[in-house]
Amino acid sequence: MRQQDIARKVLSKALFDSQAVLPMIRQCDPEDFPDDLKPVFLSIREAAMEGREVSVEILQDVKPELKDRVIDYVIEETVGTDQEYWVRRLKECASEQRLIRASKQIADLLLKDQRPYGVKRLEAQRIWDQAIGEGAELSRMVRLRAVHEERSTIEFRPVGFPMWEMLTKGLAPGRINVLAGRPSRGKTTLMVQWATNMAKAGMPTLVVPLEIGASETAELAAAQGCLSDEEVYVLQDSPCCWPTLALDLRWAIQAGGIKALFIDHLGFIRMPRRKDQTRVEEIREILQSLRSLLQQTGTACLLVCQLNRNVEGRRSEQPTLADIRESGEIEQQADTVNFLFGEKEELTKAQVRLVLRVDKNRYGPTGNVEVIFDRPKRRFTEKRG
């Protein structure tokens, strides 16, 4: 493979998800790159190896012609939605750099220029106005317009629970929805049922069973009436190492046209071990990378989590956000947090009455939805009236 081809593939992919392509970055040699692009690769590799975010901002300090080449690589290697994302990021970066340069010019002017202060003040105002006019205000308007367009064109994906959807509107692309509960409350069954309902509506879904395995997940899907021609995909032998899993998810989304991911559960996912990294930092990195993946691919996500034992010792079993196991980062990063819980005496019955509570909803109301868990049939239904 020619040096330019290697540079195009590695640099463009690294700017999207450095952790997902970290093994590829490690295997590459700077000598595989053209001489003028070696510094760019070395900067990306250093940031990736240290676990720092790798984004288009890393190109701020390289020569303008090199930046243009790398951006061209990104555009050549990516699909339309990703082009819009990176073009917007590049505009923001360019605007910020323009203002920084203008500030330095003004500082030099005021400190070193011997002309009268009134003249220097007018010149400083001219420099600042020029920097604003060249793109900073335009970039801000581009960002505001992009946010408005995103909110007005979101395609919420229904899961077949109308009362729950009255609160949340469904699963939205690019957002992390958490489903949390203690063991034996039916979290996995509910997750697979929602995935099946979406598939029946013509939206391919991918279930990532890190706890129970692919065969049992397929049995649950069959219990929901999933037919062979309905597109509920199950990721077999799912890796628990996040960079590898992220790479598998990206490939599956692109190959299968996946509209929503259903991951069971976060507690099994790990980052490559680093001595100085805590579990809190690990979860933050996983969730940030997951959100980036969802936004870039336009995919929705339901992420199953566990609750601490503390909730079982209370008079009421209704959980709070502080009860989510492992990290407060889950509460902060999630767009919606949904708790599945019920009274202890209900858990031994065939027809279990539970509550599905929307405890956090970044874009709408919270509230309770009563559900019935039919254990023999392994199905949930909303309780009406």
pTM for the structure as a whole? 0.62
Residues 71-85 have pLDDT tens digits of 666 555 544 444 455
CATH number of 162-382: 3.40.50.300
Residues 83-141 have pLDDT tens digits of 455 445 555 555 556 666 776 777 777 677 777 766 776 777 677 667 655 544 444 44
Sheet holding 205-209, edge to edge: 232-234, 205-209, 260-264, 300-306, 176-181, 336-341, 351-361, 367-374, 379-382
Residue 176 φ then ψ, to 5°: -100, 120
Q: With cut-offs at 50, 70 and 90, classify the pLDDT of residue 359.
A: very high
C-beta contacts of 35-44 below 8 A and 24+ residues apart = 36/66, 37/7, 37/11, 37/66, 37/69, 37/70, 40/11, 40/66, 40/70, 41/7, 41/10, 41/11, 44/11, 44/14, 44/15, 44/18
Contacts of 22 (CB under 8 A, 6+ apart): 48, 49, 243, 272
Asked if residue 214 lies in contact with residue 184, where contact means CB atoms within 8 angstroms, the answer is no
Angle of helix 137-152 relative to helix 80-112, nearest 10 degrees, comes to 150
Nearest to 304 by CA among 342, 258, 256, 269: 269
pLDDT of 326 reads 75
